[in-house]
Structure 1
Amino acid sequence: MKERSATISGYKNLKIPYVIQTKTDQPKGLAIMLPGIGYTVKSPLFHFSSGAFLNKGYDVLHVNYPYYSSDYEGYSFEEITSALINDVSTVLNQVIDHSIYKSFYVLGKSFGTMAMPTALDRLPTQNTKAIWLTPRLSSLPVYQTLRTCKQDSLCVIGDKDPFYDEEKINQIIDNSSIACMIHPTANHALEVDGDILSSIDMIKSVIKRIDDFISMKSGVLES
């Protein structure tokens, strides 16, 4: 596997690093990874999802925004969110405008899902798919995008997640473009409180569902 690291000048000129991983000279497309604030690309869901995309011939883009660092002390949550949307857009402009990628996946976790509406608007609808891991359903743009988006999508959340909302999930399920995977007893990390082995099994089931989703083409598993 090869890696290429770079940075962009982001919100208020603060540096935002990103990494592009590749295993092939002719990638099928690009998988864009948008982690949470504390749930980084080194965490299990991102580590194994990245591997799944790489194994299927996609390049992987990790956007490593450092919003936990001292540079962002004193920022309100609203300003951090503005920084996220600005920085993800800037990274995408930098990467996509200088590439030949035609097919895209966007995978976001929690805080990272708040940049997905803007990212999906930036990418070609017919050639883009989305994976929403524990989306912040309290965010109106996230909720509205999940309800109305045309991109084939997978939404994964647990019913013990503080952002889980049964009424909103039922409305999201009505969107024929989205498949929902709802894990009973799963918390915001998609783990089971106090049960390590069940947590491992749950992560495994999520990664298996993501791997299957990558293999889907027009609703049919590719051979």
Structure 2
Amino acid sequence: MKEISRSVLGYEQMKIPYVIQSKTANPKGLAIMLPGIGYTVKSPLFHFSSGAFLNKEYDVLHVNYPYYSADYEDFSFEELTSALIKDVSAVLHEVLDHTNYNSYYVLGKSFGTMAMPIVLELLPINDTKAIWLTPRLIDAPVFETMRKCKQEGLCIIGDKDPFYDIEKMKQIILNPSLECMIPPGANHALEVDNDILTSIDTVKSVIKRMDNFISSQNGVLKT
């Protein structure tokens, strides 16, 4: 597997690292990974979903914003959100300026989903799909984007997640472009509290649902 590590200057000129992974010279598209603050790309859901995309001959972009570091410890949540949007946009502009893919997937988890509305605006609507993992439904742009978006999408959130809202989910489910999976008993990590074996089964079912959602028919990289 080929791996390219680079960085861009983001919010307040701070360095934002990113990695592009590839297993083929002619990828079918690009999968953009937006992790949470504490849930990094090395965590199970990102590790296995990255593998699923690579196995289907997609390039994978990991945006590794370092918001857990001391540089950000004095940031309010609002400022951190502003940093997220600026940093992800900076990485995307840098990558898109030097590549030309025919199809895109955007996968965000929790805090990372707050950047998805702006990312979906930057990408071609007919060639982009979205995977919303444990989305922050309390964030208005996230909820409204999920409720109205035209891009094909998959939403996965457990009914024991603190951001789960049954009334908002009822509205999201009405969007014909969006599939929804609500694992029973699953928390914010899409695991089940105090039950290791059920947690493993839940994560496995989530990965399988994502793997099924990933199409392998979306064109090739333009050169």
Q: Same fold (TM over 0.5)?
A: yes
C-alpha RMSD over aligned residues: 1.0
With the length of structure 1 as denominator, give the TM-score of the two structures: 0.96
Correspondence 1:172 to 2:172: yes
1:152-163 matches, cutoff 5 A: 152-163=152-163
- Cα distance 1:216–1:102, how it changes in 2: closer, same or farther (>3 A)? closer
Task: Tell me the SS of whatever aligns to 1:183.
Answer: coil
Matching residue's letter, 1:158: G
Residue aligning to 1:62: 62
- Cα distance 1:216–1:148, how it changes in 2: closer, same or farther (>3 A)? farther
Whole-angstrom distance in 2 between the partners of 1:75 and 1:139? 18
With the length of structure 2 as denominator, give the TM-score of the two structures: 0.96
Residue aligning to 2:130: 130
Whole-angstrom distance in 2 between the partners of 1:52 and 1:116? 20
8 Å Cα contact 2:28-2:216 kept in structure 1: no
Deviation at 1:62, TM superposition (A): 0.1
Residue aligning to 2:221: none
1:37-52 matches, cutoff 5 A: 37-52=37-52
Residue aligning to 1:139: 139
Structure 2 unaligned regions, length at least 5: 219-223
8 Å Cα contact 2:28-2:217 kept in structure 1: no
- Cα distance 1:167–1:217, how it changes in 2: closer, same or farther (>3 A)? farther
Whole-angstrom distance in 2 between the partners of 1:215 and 1:73? 40
Matching residue's letter, 1:39: Y
Aligned length, in residue pairs: 218
Residue aligning to 2:15: 15
Deviation at 1:215, TM superposition (A): 2.9
Matching residue's letter, 1:151: Q
Residue aligning to 2:111: 111
Matching residue's letter, 2:209: R
Query: Percent identity of the aligned residues?
Result: 72
Residue aligning to 2:91: 91
Residue aligning to 1:25: 25
